[in-house]
Amino acid sequence: MKKIKIAIVDDHQLVSKAIEEMLTNQPQFSVVCNCGNGDEFLEQMEISTFRPDVVLMDINMPFRNGIETTKAATEKYPGIKILALSVDDSEHTIIKMIKAGAVGYLLKDMSPEILFKAIEEVHTSGTFDPDFLHQNLAKAKMEEDSIQAILADLKDKEIQLLKLCCTELTYKEIADRMLVSPKTVDGYRDSLFIKLGVKSRIGIAMFALKNQMV
Protein backbone atom coordinates (compact mmCIF):
# COMPACT_ATOMS: atom_id res chain seq x y z
CA MET A 1 0.00 0.00 0.00
CA LYS A 2 1.34 3.40 -1.00
CA LYS A 3 1.57 5.61 2.06
CA ILE A 4 0.29 9.18 2.24
CA LYS A 5 3.32 11.45 2.77
CA ILE A 6 2.69 14.11 5.42
CA ALA A 7 4.52 17.27 6.47
CA ILE A 8 3.89 18.86 9.88
CA VAL A 9 4.50 22.58 10.44
CA ASP A 10 4.03 23.57 14.08
CA ASP A 11 6.17 25.55 16.52
CA HIS A 12 4.98 23.56 19.55
CA GLN A 13 7.41 20.65 19.61
CA LEU A 14 5.47 18.54 22.09
CA VAL A 15 2.37 18.81 19.92
CA SER A 16 4.15 18.20 16.62
CA LYS A 17 6.09 15.22 17.95
CA ALA A 18 2.92 13.72 19.41
CA ILE A 19 1.13 14.14 16.07
CA GLU A 20 4.10 12.65 14.23
CA GLU A 21 4.19 9.59 16.50
CA MET A 22 0.43 9.13 16.21
CA LEU A 23 0.55 9.27 12.41
CA THR A 24 3.65 7.08 12.14
CA ASN A 25 1.80 4.36 14.05
CA GLN A 26 -0.80 4.25 11.27
CA PRO A 27 0.19 2.02 8.33
CA GLN A 28 -1.32 4.37 5.73
CA PHE A 29 0.76 7.42 6.71
CA SER A 30 4.42 8.46 6.49
CA VAL A 31 5.71 11.70 8.07
CA VAL A 32 8.38 13.04 5.72
CA CYS A 33 8.94 16.44 7.32
CA ASN A 34 8.39 18.05 10.73
CA CYS A 35 9.21 21.78 10.82
CA GLY A 36 9.04 24.30 13.66
CA ASN A 37 7.92 27.29 11.60
CA GLY A 38 6.92 28.44 8.13
CA ASP A 39 10.38 29.59 7.08
CA GLU A 40 11.88 26.23 7.95
CA PHE A 41 9.19 24.44 5.95
CA LEU A 42 9.71 26.59 2.85
CA GLU A 43 13.48 26.09 3.11
CA GLN A 44 12.98 22.33 3.32
CA MET A 45 10.78 22.42 0.26
CA GLU A 46 13.54 24.28 -1.60
CA ILE A 47 16.40 21.94 -0.75
CA SER A 48 14.63 18.59 -0.51
CA THR A 49 13.33 16.30 -3.20
CA PHE A 50 10.34 15.25 -1.08
CA ARG A 51 6.89 16.53 -1.87
CA PRO A 52 4.33 15.85 0.85
CA ASP A 53 0.86 14.74 -0.18
CA VAL A 54 -0.71 16.63 2.72
CA VAL A 55 0.66 19.42 4.93
CA LEU A 56 -0.66 19.94 8.47
CA MET A 57 -0.15 23.67 9.04
CA ASP A 58 -0.41 25.49 12.36
CA ILE A 59 -1.66 29.08 12.09
CA ASN A 60 0.02 31.00 14.91
CA MET A 61 3.79 30.62 14.54
CA PRO A 62 6.82 32.92 14.89
CA PHE A 63 8.84 34.28 11.94
CA ARG A 64 6.19 33.40 9.34
CA ASN A 65 2.70 32.44 10.41
CA GLY A 66 0.56 29.74 8.85
CA ILE A 67 -1.42 32.14 6.68
CA GLU A 68 1.72 33.67 5.17
CA THR A 69 3.35 30.26 4.76
CA THR A 70 0.27 28.78 3.10
CA LYS A 71 0.04 31.69 0.66
CA ALA A 72 3.74 31.41 -0.24
CA ALA A 73 3.62 27.62 -0.56
CA THR A 74 0.47 27.49 -2.72
CA GLU A 75 1.82 30.21 -5.02
CA LYS A 76 5.15 28.43 -5.53
CA TYR A 77 3.83 24.85 -5.47
CA PRO A 78 0.37 24.84 -7.12
CA GLY A 79 -1.67 21.86 -6.11
CA ILE A 80 -0.07 21.46 -2.68
CA LYS A 81 -2.71 20.34 -0.18
CA ILE A 82 -2.52 22.24 3.09
CA LEU A 83 -4.80 21.39 6.01
CA ALA A 84 -4.95 24.01 8.76
CA LEU A 85 -4.49 22.52 12.22
CA SER A 86 -4.82 25.04 15.03
CA VAL A 87 -6.31 25.99 18.40
CA ASP A 88 -7.56 29.23 16.84
CA ASP A 89 -11.26 28.87 16.07
CA SER A 90 -11.78 32.50 15.03
CA GLU A 91 -13.94 32.60 11.91
CA HIS A 92 -11.92 35.48 10.46
CA THR A 93 -8.63 33.64 10.99
CA ILE A 94 -9.90 30.43 9.42
CA ILE A 95 -11.36 32.30 6.45
CA LYS A 96 -8.00 34.05 5.93
CA MET A 97 -6.32 30.63 5.99
CA ILE A 98 -8.73 29.18 3.43
CA LYS A 99 -8.33 32.24 1.17
CA ALA A 100 -4.53 31.82 1.43
CA GLY A 101 -4.91 28.36 -0.11
CA ALA A 102 -5.67 25.86 2.65
CA VAL A 103 -8.09 23.15 1.56
CA GLY A 104 -9.59 22.57 5.00
CA TYR A 105 -9.20 23.15 8.70
CA LEU A 106 -9.18 21.24 11.96
CA LEU A 107 -9.05 22.30 15.59
CA LYS A 108 -6.43 20.58 17.72
CA ASP A 109 -9.01 19.24 20.15
CA MET A 110 -10.45 16.89 17.50
CA SER A 111 -10.17 13.13 17.86
CA PRO A 112 -7.40 11.14 16.15
CA GLU A 113 -10.05 9.47 13.99
CA ILE A 114 -11.17 12.85 12.61
CA LEU A 115 -7.54 13.75 11.83
CA PHE A 116 -7.00 10.46 9.98
CA LYS A 117 -10.24 10.92 8.03
CA ALA A 118 -9.35 14.54 7.16
CA ILE A 119 -5.92 13.58 5.81
CA GLU A 120 -7.37 10.78 3.71
CA GLU A 121 -10.16 12.99 2.32
CA VAL A 122 -7.76 15.83 1.50
CA HIS A 123 -5.49 13.37 -0.24
CA THR A 124 -8.25 11.76 -2.31
CA SER A 125 -10.77 14.57 -2.91
CA GLY A 126 -8.64 17.68 -2.36
CA THR A 127 -10.77 19.25 0.38
CA PHE A 128 -12.05 18.67 3.89
CA ASP A 129 -14.53 20.68 5.94
CA PRO A 130 -16.37 19.00 8.83
CA ASP A 131 -19.08 21.70 8.62
CA PHE A 132 -19.73 21.29 4.91
CA LEU A 133 -22.76 19.16 4.06
CA HIS A 134 -21.41 18.20 0.65
CA GLN A 135 -18.68 16.16 2.30
CA ASN A 136 -21.33 14.02 3.99
CA LEU A 137 -23.35 13.70 0.80
CA ALA A 138 -20.47 12.65 -1.43
CA LYS A 139 -21.72 9.06 -1.52
CA ALA A 140 -25.19 10.34 -2.37
CA LYS A 141 -23.95 11.68 -5.73
CA MET A 142 -23.61 15.35 -4.84
CA GLU A 143 -22.86 16.40 -8.41
CA GLU A 144 -22.65 19.67 -10.30
CA ASP A 145 -26.41 19.68 -10.94
CA SER A 146 -27.05 19.73 -7.20
CA ILE A 147 -24.70 22.70 -6.72
CA GLN A 148 -26.44 24.56 -9.53
CA ALA A 149 -29.82 23.84 -7.96
CA ILE A 150 -28.63 25.32 -4.68
CA LEU A 151 -27.27 28.43 -6.41
CA ALA A 152 -30.49 28.89 -8.38
CA ASP A 153 -32.45 28.85 -5.12
CA LEU A 154 -30.44 31.71 -3.60
CA LYS A 155 -31.90 35.20 -3.57
CA ASP A 156 -29.81 38.21 -4.62
CA LYS A 157 -29.39 39.41 -1.03
CA GLU A 158 -28.35 35.93 0.07
CA ILE A 159 -25.71 35.80 -2.66
CA GLN A 160 -24.49 39.25 -1.60
CA LEU A 161 -24.21 38.10 2.02
CA LEU A 162 -22.53 34.86 0.94
CA LYS A 163 -19.77 36.84 -0.76
CA LEU A 164 -19.41 39.32 2.11
CA CYS A 165 -18.98 36.42 4.54
CA CYS A 166 -15.61 35.83 2.84
CA THR A 167 -14.37 39.23 4.02
CA GLU A 168 -13.17 40.37 7.43
CA LEU A 169 -16.26 42.52 7.97
CA THR A 170 -18.33 41.89 11.11
CA TYR A 171 -22.00 41.10 10.70
CA LYS A 172 -22.85 44.67 11.78
CA GLU A 173 -20.48 46.06 9.13
CA ILE A 174 -22.00 43.70 6.58
CA ALA A 175 -25.46 45.02 7.49
CA ASP A 176 -24.23 48.59 6.90
CA ARG A 177 -22.74 47.58 3.55
CA MET A 178 -25.99 45.90 2.51
CA LEU A 179 -28.09 48.84 3.80
CA VAL A 180 -30.20 46.58 5.99
CA SER A 181 -30.51 45.98 9.73
CA PRO A 182 -28.33 43.46 11.61
CA LYS A 183 -31.51 41.47 12.33
CA THR A 184 -32.21 41.22 8.59
CA VAL A 185 -28.67 39.98 8.01
CA ASP A 186 -29.26 37.35 10.70
CA GLY A 187 -32.30 36.21 8.73
CA TYR A 188 -30.34 35.95 5.47
CA ARG A 189 -27.54 34.11 7.30
CA ASP A 190 -29.94 31.57 8.84
CA SER A 191 -31.49 31.01 5.41
CA LEU A 192 -28.02 30.34 3.95
CA PHE A 193 -27.31 27.85 6.75
CA ILE A 194 -30.39 25.88 5.70
CA LYS A 195 -29.93 26.13 1.93
CA LEU A 196 -26.20 25.36 1.95
CA GLY A 197 -26.39 22.78 4.72
CA VAL A 198 -23.78 24.48 6.89
CA LYS A 199 -23.66 25.64 10.50
CA SER A 200 -21.27 28.57 10.55
CA ARG A 201 -19.92 31.55 8.64
CA ILE A 202 -16.87 29.44 7.84
CA GLY A 203 -19.11 26.92 6.08
CA ILE A 204 -20.68 29.72 4.05
CA ALA A 205 -17.26 31.10 3.09
CA MET A 206 -15.94 27.69 2.08
CA PHE A 207 -18.97 27.13 -0.17
CA ALA A 208 -18.31 30.47 -1.88
CA LEU A 209 -14.59 29.78 -2.28
CA LYS A 210 -15.04 26.21 -3.50
CA ASN A 211 -17.54 27.32 -6.11
CA GLN A 212 -15.41 30.30 -7.18
CA MET A 213 -18.03 32.86 -6.22
CA VAL A 214 -15.35 35.20 -4.88
- Helix orientation angle between 182-196 and 201-210, rounded to the nearest 10 degrees: 60
Q: What pLDDT, on a 0 to 100 scale, did the predictor assign at position 132? A: 47
Query: In angstroms, rounded to a whole number, what is the distance separating the alpha carbons of residues 53 and 32?
Result: 10
pLDDT of 63-101, one tens digit each?
899 999 999 999 999 889 999 988 877 777 888 888 898
pTM for the model: 0.73
CATH 3.40.50.2300 residue ranges in the chain?
A: 4-130
CATH of domain 138-210: 1.10.10.10
CATH architecture of 4-130: 3-Layer(aba) Sandwich (3.40)
pLDDT band at 151 (very low <50, low <70, confident <90, very high): confident
| Most confident of the ranges 127-141, 145-159, 183-197 | 183-197
pLDDT band at 131 (very low <50, low <70, confident <90, very high): low
CATH 1.10.10.10 residue ranges in the chain?
A: 138-210
